[in-house]
Each structure stands twice: as C-alpha cells, then as structure tokens.
Amino acid sequence: MNSRTIRNINIYHLTQFLGNLDFTLPIYILFGKNYIGLSYSQIAVLTVIAFASSVAFDFLLGIFADSFSKKKSYILGVIITFLSLLPYIFTKDYTLLIVSAFLMGFGNALASNVLDTFIHEDLTDNGLIEHYAPVTSKAQQMFFFGRTCAGVLGGFLFTISPTLPYIFYAIATLICILVASIVLTEMPSERIKNTIAQTTKDAFAFLKKRKDIIYFCLVGVIILTFGDLQFGYYQPYFSSLHINPLYIGILYSVISLFSAFGSHLMKNFLPKYSAKTINSFMIVATICTALFMLPRIPILAFIGPLFIAVTFGFVYPNLRNFLNSQSPSEIKTSVASFGTTCYAIGTMIGLSAGGVFADHFSSTIVLSIILAGSIISFVLNYLLL
C-alpha cells in the first residue's frame, strides 16, 4: 500500500473521530427544553428541518462531489456545519435556530459519503479493494469512539454551562477542517470528470435499472424509522424516570462503545453475511431494546439500549459496502448519497416522532409502536430483498 493511500486512510479515520465529537448529542433535547424553553414538539421541528435539509440536498450534493472534488466538497460541508453551531452558542432566538438547523442538514449532506467513496476509489485504483471492509469497519469504530468521548463529556459540560457542549463541538469541527485541508491528498486519476448534468443522468439511469438497490434502501428506511424513534425517545423517557443528565451522557457513551464493537464485528460480518441477514440482526436488536424498556425499571432501561447499540454499528458499513460494491466509480458518491438520503428520511421521521410522541403518549404506547413497526420491518426485509 503506497504512502499516499495510507495517509488518506489515516486522515479518513481521524476525521471520523473529530467530526463526531458531538458533545450536544446526549443533551440537545434537554438544552432546548430546559435552557431555551422550547417544547418537545418545537425541538422535533428543528430535528425535522435539519434532516429535511439533508434529505433534500444529499443526492444532489453527491452528484456535485462526483463532478467537482470530493476533498473540497467535504471541507466545505464541515465549514457549513461549524457555522450552523454558532447560533446555539450566541442566541436563544428560535428563528435563528431554524436557520441553523437548515445549515446543519446542508453541511452534513455536502460532507456525507464523500470520504468513504474517496477511499473506496483509492483502494480500487491501487488493486487493494480487499482492504475496504476492515478500513470502513475501523472508520465506523472511530465514529463511535468520537460519540463515546462526546457522550462522557457532553452531560458533564452541560451541568457546568448549557452552551459548553456546543462550544466544544465547534472547536472539534474547526480542527477537523484544518486536518482535512492540510493533509488529505487528492488522488491523481485518469478519469475525466463528467458534467453535473451527465452525472445526474447516469445516476438516475443506474438506479432505474437496479431495483434491488431501491428495495434495499426502502427496507433501510423502515428499519431506521423505528430504530431512531426509539433513540429519539431516550431523553424524554429517562427524564420521566428522573435520571440525572450526567448519567444520560454516560449511557450515550456506553451506547457508542457498544456501537463501536458492532462496527468492529462488521470486519468479519460483511464478507460472511448478506445485507438482508445483517438487516435482520438490527431489527431483532430493536425489538429486544423496546422489551427491556417497557417495564420502566431503571436497571433494565439502561441495559435495553445496549442491544440496539451494537447494531447501530452495522447500519452504515452495511449500506456503504453494498452500494459501493455495486456502483461504477463515476457515480459512486451519487449512489451512496441516494442511500444515505433514504436512510436520513427514516432517521428524520424516527427522531422527530420521538419528541412529538413524548408530548402526547405514554412510554407504553411509544414502545408498543416501536415493537409493531419492527415486526413489520422484519417481514418486509425478507419479502422485498
């Protein structure tokens, strides 16, 4: 493996860690509710806007990255993400927070998938594609290690000052921009970049021909809808049990560690199991988590999320491995962005519904919805794929 490829892989892993030092993750609902004074439904609106922005632009910006520059697309996306954090630090104005949510989604859409397809292409060009499974597995581990560190500190920082998690997240994002700008190296390529119009035409033609990809992404939407409904309901659920935010942060960190373990498993799972089988693992884990949370016994409630936590580490390695292995190089980011767009729809519905349901329904009803939806997901997984 040449030095440039090794350096790019190392930067890929480092940016996965730095870019996911999201100290706001375990407290963003509590921040909106207790510090800004929003209702759960208003917080859900911000979540919907962020994900709607990502959904609206992800596929188009994937086409942009294929036609322009993956490195520059990534850096621009992270810069926009940094700017989206500033209103949370300096204002309580809900209108500005709505703008911020839109920018957050746009920035995430611009940066998503880019480095993964960048590395996949680098390994392919150098005849090293057999290294992709362990490389992407480690990248996802770094993603969750970042979430782990952020979870441990996020709840603690929140107890000192509500805005500190956002300040620290902004600093981590700035470091990520610098590292990617200075060290990441574009690969020399003999391929001629297509125009945006041609890339768009090729991507749509490819997806129209490949119904198996459409079905795979559709099943993923349903799985993530109910999996992320559960995740989006954690903070209201544990708040109703009168759990200290510090312990919620610790739980999020433990969840991230288990997810990192799940990502580690994918190094062996991807060559061994089909995408459909890996989907079924995720669905069963969602069901187990809901069953453990139903009795509202604190110790069981803390154990329950660990089931689904492991399979959180399966989601994107499974998606990326399937889509990257199936799509040609000139539209690889476009096809990957189509997949993450679909998955973002499921996440958007699930996370926002968690907040809305918390305002109107008991935990028994919410968890029962998750159980019913997961059973439907299990059936569709085997019927469609």
Query: Given this model, what pLDDT does residue 150 score?
Result: 82
Q: How confident is the model at residue 192 (pLDDT cuts 50, 70, 90)?
A: low
- Mean pLDDT of all residues in the chain? 85
Whether the Cβ atoms of residue 40 and residue 354 lie closer than 8 Å to each other:
no
pLDDT of residue 193: 63
Structural domain of 379: 3-183+195-384
Q: How far is it, in rounded angstroms, from Cα 310 to Cα 302? A: 14
What percentage of the chain reaches a pLDDT higher than 90?
20
What's the confidence (pLDDT) of residue 64?
81
Name residue, tokens 């997901």.
377
pLDDT, tens only, 310-362: 988 888 888 888 888 888 878 888 888 888 888 878 887 887 787 778 778 88
CA-atom Rg of the chain in angstroms: 20
How much is the pLDDT for 198? Answer: 84
Mean pLDDT over residues 112-120, rounded?
81
Note the pLDDT tens digit of each residue in 210-236.
988 999 999 999 999 998 888 878 778
Q: With respect to residue 188, please indicate whether it lies within any of the assigned structural domains.
A: no
Q: Which amino acid is at 322?
A: F
Residue-wise pLDDT tens digits, 129-142:
888 878 888 888 88
* pLDDT, position 190: 44
Question: How far apart, in whole angstroms, are the C-alpha atoms of residue 351 and residue 321?
Answer: 25
- The pLDDT of residue 319 is 87
Residue 139: which CATH number? 1.20.1250.20
* pLDDT score recorded for residue 67: 79
**CA-based angle 138:110:347, to the nearest 5?**
70
Question: Would you say residue 351 lies in a domain?
Answer: yes
In a domain, residue 69? The reply is yes
Answer yes or no: is 34 within a domain.
yes
Asked if residue 170 has pLDDT above 90, the reply is: yes
Q: Is residue 190 part of a domain?
A: no
Q: How many domains does the chain have?
A: 1
The pLDDT tens digits for 66-109 are: 777 788 888 999 999 999 999 999 988 999 999 999 999 899 88
Please write the tens of the pLDDT for every residue from 4-42.
888 888 888 988 898 888 888 878 888 888 888 888 788
Q: Evaluate whether residue 359 is within a structural domain.
A: yes
